[in-house]
Chains A and B, each alone.
Chain A
Amino acid sequence: MSGATTTHVDGVPFQDSVTHSDTAPGSSLQVLPASFYASRLSHASLRRREDGIRALLPLESRPGLISLLAGKPNSETFPITSLQFNIRDPFTPNGETTMQLSEEELNIGLQYTLTSGLPDLREWIFGLQERLHGRRKGEGWTVTVGAGSQDMIFKGVNALMNPGDAILVETPVYAGTLTIFQALDAEMIEVETDSHGVCSRSMREMLENWPSSKPKPKFFYTVPYGSNPTGSTATLERRLEVLALSREHDFFILEDDPYYNLYFGSSSRPPSYFELEKDQPEVGRVLRFDSLSKIMSSGLRVGFASGPESILKAMDLHSMAVNLQASSFSQMIALKVLSAWGYDGFTAHTARVAQFYRQKRDVFEAAMQRHLAGLAEWTSPEAGMFFWFKLLLNEPGSGVEGEGDSEYIIRTTALERGVLALPGATFYPNPRKTPYVRASFSLLPEDQVDEALRRLREVVLEARKANGSKRS
């Protein structure tokens, strides 16, 4: 396998595992070439220097050569001698299996590894992406493992925009990514969303009326399944239109998909952007982020990016400077579980997880109907773990201006009545007042959900009364 070797500075080698090709062998896929990315990577990426040790590592492969290069600690000194854990069987609800790391696996887990991730874990991921999204090796993309998808998104964004650049952000948007954009002084162009996901028509209008003197946005950030906070899932038509726009107006699509496996809608699943781009005239605009946080463990901190080689290479260079690699140990545990499941087990497990959240959604929805019908507006989510709803803080015909401010209500009335939900204002790039709130239905048992929403009902009623009496 050819490809440049890149390493963590103390001599741990890694190799890009995919050779770059403009056309995938044996297919008609038109893969965007490396030169396409060279002009689109951020200045920070292009400035990143590879360290001097890199250049020497290929020399280590000379037969018979003894190398004194690598500053790795000797794993004989690592005291952990075995690791064993139990996992629930994905096929039988009460079954458990004991997994034990082999000596080799333990050694791998305890030592530095390649920046892009444990080789076997990467292979498993390639297999998963083929299985779930129909994407194969040799299509100009590769994978890299990160310390959670937050880590990967942070690096992906840093690779693709310069401070001050304009970017398209579906709105409302996950607050955790907002902070990444803010840290880079992004000019966040809000793209509205509705129950079908991103409003692609609105995006089209915006882009077609873009001032010619101003550089167009670098990328569009979206959480297409069970968006945080709105819970909406983008339909196929919306996705296709966004893909067309990404070609017409030359921007990347950052597909942040942590709830992909938490889809419990009744209609058939829309394909991911990563899958859909395969049928586009050109491939290589989608940078996809997956997470194990909602399906295996959020504390483990394992996520991965799949996308154009040039972009992932830039992200790896970034990793080398800042945190070297995702924990080998965490990766080995994840790999062990995933290998034990196989892809069928993975599907079975995620189906069970999706069912779990569906039931929780149903409980929440029933309580919403019971307590908030007529006092709030919402669309039922078909993926993820959030309800996004608008508190109707003014009585119809009350003549009160504006829709109200949920943040104020939460910090005062709601708090007093013993219920907390997240004010919608948190999720907007540009500050605004909004009557929306986000509630998570992942954790609470049925009785607490009922009580929480009963209290929220009281809150809304109280607010309406107060607003009504303002009118003199």
Chain B
Amino acid sequence: MAVKSLPAEFYSAFLSDAAKERKPSPIRGLYPLEARPGVISLLAGKPNATTFPLTSVKLTSRSPADPSKEIETEVSGQALAEGLQYGPTAGIPSLLEWVYDLQQREHGRKKGEGWRVSIGSGSQDVIYKAVATMVNPGDAVLIECPAYAGVLPMFQALHCDLIEVETDAQGIKSSSLRSILQNWSENKPKPKVLYTVPYGCNPTGMTATLDRRREVLALAQEHNFIILEDDPYYFLYYGNAARYPSYFSLELEEPEVGRVLRFDSLSKILSSGIRIGFASGPEPLLQAIDMHTAVANLQTSSLTQAIAFSLLDAWGYDGFKTHTETVSRFYREKRDVFEVAMRRHLSGLAEWSTPEAGMFFWFKLLLVKDGEEGDSESIIRTKAYERGVLALPGTVFLPRGGKTAYVRASFSLLGEEEVEEAVKRLRETILEARAQAA
């Protein structure tokens, strides 16, 4: 049975004024004419690639199946020429095809369902553009709380009314979302977007369960908003339960698809410095994102795309999957080390839920016996600092700011000994704070 997708006109209500005002480049309208047989074109202001000094690129990468071995891949000939020259805004064809294949295998989404893909300079790049494409200054925006601090400035710059949706150990609280929307004042336009990180949320580390996801999708249908599914830790899931489908996948259960705009990143699995991510979602929204790209930074680096593709292509999908599982296990082990230290030193002094994805522990410092929560920020800057340990005060992750006793600790980098020592110092910090409060 064919998948039904929302029509293009549906998205006019979801495009920002800025997006609507963007005019397509007049030059671009001419390029299709170049395809006419026999035409000699003097259009393109591209530099001549014979002046580019790079002549071949070779890389080696660990074999996913056997990390002690290396695979050599090359970017040469046509692929290198393509990598060195200006390319299509949405990405080089080979990498785009790889992404389409990935989205089909991982999320069951096929071409021809009203969606397409654009490669971004990191997922931050395409998330930013999506926000600029969909949100007008002053708009209300639904955002899970706490949320990735890196998106808050985007909304703040637009003076958004950030509507905090509660979260807990099962991820976003659909009951909180439902309540917000059912009690929405008739005088105010409803929010058009919901931002969420469903796997290993930064900072909470929590992963949204299947039930929660289904409920959120139902609410998206009922109250007409689009889900911005920011999923950089999707491949860093190491929970015991079977993996939950993404929103992008689950929306296939809905009568129509087209309410999910999904963001993937290679930063946590291939390289953060290479700056490659991608957006998958409704064509009109991706089109608007591309038009923004055409003005702001033209395209993601063709060369890094070509290099990434050569590696991914050599691995094949199975190799890619195996690699992500290895990465996942790596972070699981690191989580285990951290958790052991927390149990050893912070039982009774902190509260937390164990993350099943990503690289963060989010825990509440039990600074006072009862009553007020306490403020982790002042503790960190003073007592923790003096004792030689720093964790991130939770307040930076609260969309509307405020005091909180929570902190975020990253377990991605430190070795076992340093973790042990760091958590021990946190223990002493909390004890000191409690003694003082008493």
Contact = CB atoms under 8 A, between A and B. Distances in A.
Given A73-B267, A112-B273, A179 B294 contact: yes
A183 B360 contact: no
Interface in A139-162: 146-148, 150-151, 154
Interface in B275-334: 275, 294-304, 306-307, 311, 323, 326-327, 330-331, 334
Contacts of A79: 61-62, 64, 270, 311, 323
B304 A49 contact: no
A357 to B, nearest CB: 8
Given A420-B33, A420-B40, A442-B48, A44 B157 contact: yes
Given A44-B157, A84-B59, A56 B392 contact: yes
Interface stretch (A60-68, A201-209, A304-312, A392-400): A60-68
A412 B268 CA distance: 51
A82 B57 CA distance: 11
Contacts of A147: 121, 275, 297, 301
Contact of B153 (A49, A64, A296): A49
B56 A72 contact: no
Nearest to A352: B51
A325 interface: yes
B269 A66 contact: no
A110 interface: yes
A25 interface: no
Contacts of A151: 296-298
Interface string A39-74: 000001001110111001001101011111111111
A80 B271 CA distance: 8
B58 A74 contact: no
Interface string A209-247: 000000000000000000010000000000000000000
Contact of B52 (A10, A296, A415): A296
B314 to A, nearest CB: 11
B412 A72 contact: yes
B396 A76 contact: no
B39 A415 contact: yes
A52 B275 CA distance: 24
B414 interface: yes
A434 interface: no
B301 A88 contact: no
Interface residues on B, range: 35 or more
Contacts of A44: 157
A323 interface: yes
Interface residues of A, number: 113
Contact of B39 (A87, A418, A426, A440): A418
Interface stretch (A188-196, A280-288, A372-380, A447-455): A447-455
Interface string B250-284: 00000000000000000111111111000000000
Given A69-B410, A148-B297, A297-B303, A52 B396 contact: yes
Classify the secondary structure of B's interface with A. Answer: mixed
Contacts of A356: 48, 50-51
Given A337-B54, A420-B34, A329 B304 contact: yes
A109 B295 contact: no
A322 B293 CA distance: 11
Q: Identify the interface centre among B57, B273, B306, B327: most chain A CB within 10 Å of its CB.
A: B273
Given A68-B390, A356-B51, A113 B410 contact: no
B45 A321 contact: no
Nearest to A354: B51
Contact of B273 (A59, A327, A443): A327
B189 interface: no
A113 B273 CA distance: 7
Nearest to B232: A73
Interface string B57-69: 1111110100000
Interface stretch (B77-85, B166-174, B207-215): B77-85
B413 interface: yes
B22 A183 contact: yes
Interface in A401-427: 410-411, 415, 418-423, 425-426
Contacts of B50: 356
B153 A321 contact: yes
Given A69-B410, A84-B59, 14 more contacts: A8-B150, A56-B392, A66-B414, A68-B422, A72-B272, A82-B70, A147-B121, A183-B295, A321-B153, A321-B154, A328-B273, A329-B301, A332-B273, A356-B50
19 contacts: A48-B153, A66-B425, A67-B389, A68-B422, A74-B331, A74-B412, A76-B330, A81-B62, A109-B271, A110-B273, A113-B273, A297-B54, A301-B298, A321-B128, A323-B297, A325-B275, A356-B50, A386-B45, A410-B30
What are the 8 tightest A-B residue pairs by CB atom distance, in nearest-first order?
A328-B273, A299-B302, A52-B396, A439-B42, A68-B409, A151-B297, A327-B275, A301-B301
Interface of B: 18, 21-23, 25-27, 30, 33-34, 36, 38-48, 50-62, 64, 70, 82-87, 121-122, 124-125, 128, 149-150, 152-154, 156-157, 202, 267-275, 294-304, 306-307, 311, 323, 326-327, 330-331, 334, 359-360, 380-381, 385, 388-393, 395-396, 408-414, 418, 421-422, 425
Interface of A: 8-11, 44, 47-49, 51-53, 56, 59-60, 62, 64-74, 76-88, 90, 96, 108-113, 146-148, 150-151, 154, 175-176, 179-180, 182-183, 228, 293-301, 320-330, 332-333, 337, 349, 352-353, 356-357, 360, 385-386, 410-411, 415, 418-423, 425-426, 438-444, 448, 451-452, 455
